[in-house]
Structure 1
Amino acid sequence: MDRRATFDNLWLAGALVAPQILLVVVFFYWPTMQALYWAFSTQPPFGGTNQWVGWQNFEQIFSDAVYWNSVRVSIVFAILSTALSIGMALLLALMIDRQLAGHKAYRFVYFWPYAIAAPAVGLAFRFIFAPDAGFVSAINQLAPNLWNPALKGWDAMLLIVIANSWKMMAYNFIFFLAALQSIPRSLVEAAAMDGSGVLRRARDIQIPLLAPTLFFLLVINITESFVDSFGIVDITTGGGPARATDLMVFKIYSDGFKGLDYSMAAAQSIVLMLLVIGLTFVQFRYVEKRVHYA
């Protein structure tokens, strides 16, 4: 007999969920509706109510070479950051799963970076990789101007990729380690008894069984790279040099809060939201087909 739990007191149920609904409406739906309104309107230069302009703001940003540069830079950043963070987290999780000496201490320490705020991460890496003060200064003394993120675009891109990957690596590590520990030990032990080495066991048994976790982290990391990288970019490079690290989310901030062009910033935020939704749809539509759930 199928018994379902019921809640007879609807007023009490409504009172319990009302705070959460209010938070979602105030901090998610209301700002989204405001962004839509600003994206299809423009503010008169001398004040007054907004004027409806339709697709004019979108036509302007799509014809702007600077905006397309930010799109290209964002895609490069997302690919590099996701690949590095997932790859390093998987390697660390495989090492910890072998329960080597001190694995409990390492397991605890590896999660710390995710608890650090993005601006703090950016500030730390800005100092560590400073060409004249950080440890890279010793390299620059041997090879002058080999590393200078203030002048070289690829150096600046590499700096924010490393900083963001270091932060997300901790998040990925926890999921990979949990997934590895859910794999029956009998499978790994049987492969070891058959003579399979550490790399062979990881390649043929462990990594294939991590496919659902890997897919989940792929979606999360790509989304985070597009929408949660502002703090690192703002502190480390400020979008420079020569817009080499001018990510889409940072350009929205620059146009909206520095350039005071709220309509263009709102239009860009809508495009960014649609881009993230589109990438997520593609991943679920095509990439998930290659994922096998045990």
Structure 2
Amino acid sequence: ISTGLAMVVALVLAALTDRQLAGSRLYRVVLIWPYGIAAPALALAFRFILAPEAGFMAVVNKLWPGFWDPGLDGADAMASIIIAFSWKYVGYNFIFFLAAFQAIPRSLIEAAAMDGSGVIRRFRDIQFPLITPTIFFLLVINITESFQDSFGIVDIMTAGGPANATNLMVYKIYSDGFKGLDYSGAAAQSIILMLLIIALTIVQFRFIERRVHYR
């Protein structure tokens, strides 16, 4: 979910920024910054921002008491992790999407516009097919990186709780091995995780890559 959300938001922002908008250079710099923030630091920031008693969501809870409480509600806790991870990778994806858009010859876009194609149709028929190699690359990278950065975010924001609702596999390996001292079990889980990542990568290259249009 976080990977898909980060890619969709980045794609939309890159498509908008690629157009000649006032202050577009400033937008690009601002959108790139989040990727440079380490996962634990990012988690600390979002832990405060999304805190039900003092953060931004405290305002929402005043209007609707009990609406947001990641300390007790597993769905809220998972949502907070998804938001934090997506925010970090929007900037990373944005860099590549913007480069892909700018690599498309302007003559193609101008010719389509002269033929009467609207913005949405030009994106669907011309721009999107030409950036599918970038989409495929980012899909592989985002899924792989999610296993790495999810540990720091989960450890700081929820520590696997509440009631193991956010006890992702990466964090469970750490918890079982270093807290529960179940080294053999943690080692077995790490091997399973490695095989899972390899399997996901193979599936992406075998099936998803078939829909990629290389120029």
| TM-score normalized with structure 1 length | 0.72
The partner residue of 2:106 within 180, 185, 200 is 185
Counterpart for residue 251 of structure 1: 172
Tell me which residue corresponds to 1:31.
none
Match of 1:198 in 2: 119
* 1:229 to 2:145 alignment: no
> 1:163: how far off?
0.3
Structure 1 residue 195: Cα displacement: 2.3
Instruction: Report the equivalent of 1:293.
Output: 214
2:39 alignment partner in structure 1: 118
Give the aligned residue type for 2:193: L
Unaligned 5+ segments in structure 2 are: none
Q: String of CA shifts for 1:32-83, please: whole Å, max 9, x gaps.
A: xxxxxxxxxxxxxxxxxxxxxxxxxxxxxxxxxxxxxxxxxxxxxxxx0111
- 2:67 aligned partner: 146
Give the ranges of 4+ consecutive aligned residues of structure 1 lying more than 4 Å apart after TM superposition.
Answer: none
The aligned counterpart of 1:34 is none
1:273 matched to 2:181: no
Shift of 1:225: 1.6
Total equivalences in the alignment = 215
Q: What SS is found at the alignment partner of 2:21?
A: coil
SS in 2 for 1:270: helix
1:160 aligned to which of 81, 106, 127 = 81
After TM superposition, the structure 1 = structure 2 runs for residues 3-82 of structure 1, keeping only pairs within 5 Å, are 80-82=1-3
Paired residue for 1:88? 9
Looking at structure 1, the residues matched to 87 and 111 of structure 2 have their Cα atoms a distance apart, in angstroms, of 35
Deviations 1:98-135 (A, max 9, x none): 02110001111111000000001111111101111011
Query: Could you tell me which amino acid in structure 1 is paired with residue 201 of structure 2?
Result: T
Task: Provide Cα deviations, 1:199-219, integer angstroms capped at 9, x if missing partner.
Answer: 221122111111100001111
Larger Rg: 1
Within 5 Å, give how 1:126-141 maps onto structure 2.
126-141=47-62
Aligned equivalent of 1:262, options 180, 183, 193 = 183
Query: Percent identity over the alignment?
Result: 70
The residue type equivalent to 2:163 in the other structure is A
AA at the equivalent of 2:148:
V
Partner of 1:242: 163
Provide the TM-score with structure 2 as the length reference.
0.97
Is 1:213 the equivalent of 2:141? no
Which residue pairs with 1:170 in the alignment? 91
The more displaced of 210-219 and 200-209 is: 200-209
Corresponding residue SS for 2:214: coil
Q: Matched residues in 2 for 1:140 and 1:131: separation?
A: 7
**Long gaps (5+) in structure 1:** 1-79
Q: Give 1:109's aligned residue.
A: 30
Deviation at 1:198, TM superposition (A): 1.8
Cα separation, 1, equivalents of 2:192 and 2:148: 12
- Cα RMSD (Å) of the superposition? 0.9
The 2-side partners of 1:153 and 1:96 are apart by 36
Q: Aligned letter for 1:140?
A: N
The code of the aligned residue for 1:252 comes to I
Alpha-carbon deviation of 1:261? 1.5
